[in-house]
Structure 1
Amino acid sequence: MGILDGKVALITGASRGIGAAIAEEFGREGADVVITARSSNDQPGKLPGTLEETAAAVVAAGGRAHTVVADLTSEADRERIVREAMERFGKVDILVNNAAVTFFQAGAELKPSRAQLMYDIQVMAPLHLTQLVLPGMRERGTGSILNITSWESKHPEMPPSRFNAKGTTTVYGMIKAALDRLTTGFAAEVFNDGINVNALRPARLVATPGPVFHGVLKADDPSAEKPEVMARAAVVLCSATPEKVSGRVLESEDVLTQWAPTAQGGTRNHD
């Protein structure tokens, strides 16, 4: 039996990278997964990976998958994603807000329209999707919401600083900081409803198609974190109760070091 047997997970940005790895790992642990992204066989993106490829990996791992091609900037599409999840599997137990679009430009140069796009996908979409799945989670008295964040959300030391020296992650960091605050706020709101809400960030840069495409790192960089580390940490957090862990912004390797899955599907704190 898997840790997530009987659970239904909705994962955004799941055509490649961290989202695809989480979907596959959830399927391996027994979850049914609803995966959404813009890239499909009919509408391929600039980067490798499609929803159909992720769905095939989920099935190969032993799970079931339903794909939804959608634009997360659209309120109607966000509602359709959840509606299709309900029609296909009857519920949503786990929401993983992973989708992101990032422009690595200095804050002084980034076009407002691009900043708005980043905000809509990485803050407004998680907010709205959370609002859409919460009623069902509250009714059942259980649920998990996981927001994928970044260590760029941390405030750098004051200048002169090596952190963000060129300012290319100023807006990205601002948006991830907003996502972190959304996480802790919702965790407080729903703690007594049996729902945990956490944010997870990689301990190091992850070798996914996005950073490789932008030249941030090489695909074979030995210092890069593997997507599977984030995926395993996501399983741990999404199988926990709010009493065990909620309202936290955690790094992947710390999660795997400090918490271990129990036979009941929860977590055991090693602190």
Structure 2
Amino acid sequence: MGVLDGRIALVTGASRGIGAEIARRFAAEGATVIATARTLEPGSSQLAGSLTDTVAAIEAAGGTARAVAADVSRAADRVALAERVTAEHGPVDILVSNAAVTWFTPVADFTAKRVDLMFEVQVKAPMHLAQLVLPGMRERGAGTILNISSRAAIHPQLPPTGRASRGGTVYGMCKAALERFSTGLAAELYADGIAVNALSPNRVVPTPGTVFHHLTTEDAPDAEPPAVMAEAALALCRPPANGSRALTGRIAYSQDLLNELGIAVPSR
């Protein structure tokens, strides 16, 4: 018996990195995971990982998962995704919005097209997907929405240090907007019993994306393993025990959250 037995979990950006790790962790706890991303098959992206890989790993471990290719930058794809999941598996119990597209470019050189795409994927898509799954959650009086954020949402200190001057402003804008959306939606849905949270890693997680952008390396000693984010995501998405209210309205940081809840921080 897993803590997510019988639940339908929709995880975006699940072809690699944090999204794939969350999908695997949720499936290990009994959820039927709908893994979605643009990359369905291996070799169709410049980054390693695919939905086929994620689903194969879940099924090899005895879990249940389905791959549904979708481009969440497109409203029509988002609608089709929600309709397909509901028709084939029933209403979504858990929505994890993790998909991201990012460029690290100074504001002076950022193109309007790239700004629009980043906000579409990392702000508008999580909002739209939430709107699409909310009717089913409200009907059952329960549900969880988790938006994956980043410490980039925190305002930089001046004079700048580290990455603050390297072109992360637009990325930080997206994540700050996502966090404000999360807390606002949590307030709106509090009476409905639907939890909404934002979750960030305490440290940079070595994923194909962060390594590609030279934010970390696969063997960086100070990096945070993807399993830490997955365990923290599970802590925010598991049903509350003993009639208590689910955690909601949190801007949470993975290791801090696990320490607060007395959950061991994974080392892998």
TM-score w.r.t. structure 1 length?
0.92
Q: Aligned equivalents of 1:124 and 1:67: distance in 2?
A: 22
Q: Over residues 3-36 of structure 1, what are the superposed CA-to-partner deviations in whole Å (9 max), with x where a residue is unaligned?
A: 1111100000000000000000000000001111
- SS of 2:209's equivalent? helix
Q: Do the aligned partners of 2:42 and 2:53 also contact (CA within 8 Å) in 1? A: no
1:198 alignment partner in structure 2:
197
Distance 1:240 1:198 in 2: 14
Q: Percent identity?
A: 52
Work out the CA distance in 2 between the residues paired with 1:64 and 1:166: 43
Q: Secondary structure in 2 aligned to 1:96?
A: strand
Residues in 2 aligned to 1:170 and 1:161: alpha-carbon distance in whole angstroms? 12
Q: Please give the secondary structure, in 2, of the residue aligned with 1:247.
A: coil
**Corresponding residue number in structure 2 for 1:174:** 173
The equivalent of 2:62 in structure 1 is 62
Q: Tell me, yes or no, if structure 1 residue 71 matches structure 2 residue 71.
A: yes
In structure 2, what is the Cα distance between the partners aligned to 1:6 and 1:30?
Answer: 7
Of stretches 176-185 and 84-93 in structure 1, the one that deviates more from structure 2 is 84-93
Secondary structure of 1:95's aligned partner: strand
Does the aligned pair in 2 maintain the 1:16–1:48 contact within 8 Å?
A: yes
Deviations 1:104-162 (A, max 9, x none): 111111111101110000000000000000010000010000000001101122x3221
The 3-state SS of whatever aligns with 1:108 is helix
Larger displacement relative to structure 2 (209-218 or 178-187): 209-218
Report what 1:101 is aligned to: 101
Partner residue of 2:266?
none
Rounded Cα–Cα distance in structure 1 between residues aligned with 2:236 and 2:262? 10
- Does the 8 Å CA contact 1:202/1:230 hold for their aligned counterparts? yes
User: Offset at 1:163?
Assistant: 5.4
Task: Name the aligned partner's letter for residue 249 of structure 1.
Answer: I
Q: Distance in 2 between matches of 1:2 and 1:174?
A: 37
CA distance in 2: counterparts of 1:164 and 1:221, whole angstroms: 16
Q: Identify the residue that residue 245 of structure 2 maps to in structure 1.
A: 243
Which residue in 2 is equivalent to 1:266? none
| Structure 1 residue 240: Cα displacement | 4.3
Is the 8 Å Cα contact of residues 8 and 94 (structure 1) preserved in structure 2? yes
The AA in structure 1 aligned to 2:248 is S
| Structure 1 stretch displaced more, 24-33 or 57-66 | 57-66
Go from structure 1 to structure 2 and tell me whether the alpha carbon gap of 1:154 and 1:42 turns closer, same or farther (over 3 Å shift). closer
CA distance in 1, matches of 2:2, 2:61: 11
1:208-242 C-alpha deviation (Å, 9 max, x unpaired) = 00111122211111111011110011111001448
Aligned counterparts, 1:52-201, within 5 A: 52-157=52-157, 159-162=158-161, 164-201=163-200
Structural mapping, 1:20-31, within 5 Å: 20-31=20-31
Deviation at 1:60, TM superposition (A): 2.2
Q: How many residues align?
A: 260
Mean Cα deviation higher: 125-134 or 51-60 = 51-60
TM-score by length of 2: 0.93
| Distance in 1 between residues matched to 2:116 and 2:43, nearest whole Å | 23
The residue that corresponds to 2:258 in the other structure is: 256
Structure 2 unaligned blocks of 5 or more: 264-268
Counterpart of 2:227 in structure 1 is 228
**Counterpart Cα distance in 1 of 2:60 and 2:262:** 25
Is there any run of 5+ residues in structure 1 with no aligned partner, and where? 262-271
Distance in 1, matches of 2:258 and 2:82, equals: 30
Q: Distance in 1 between matches of 2:159 and 2:92?
A: 46
- Maintained 8 Å contact 2:42/2:50: no
Q: Would you say the 8 A contact 1:107–1:167 is kept in 2?
A: no
Query: Is 2:47–2:208's contact at 8 Å kept on the other side of the alignment?
Result: yes
Question: C-alpha deviations, 1:54-105, integer Å up to 9, x for none?
Answer: 0111212322111111111111100111111112211200000000011011
Structure 1 residues 139 and 42: alpha-carbon distance in aligned structure 2, compared to 1, 3 A threshold: same
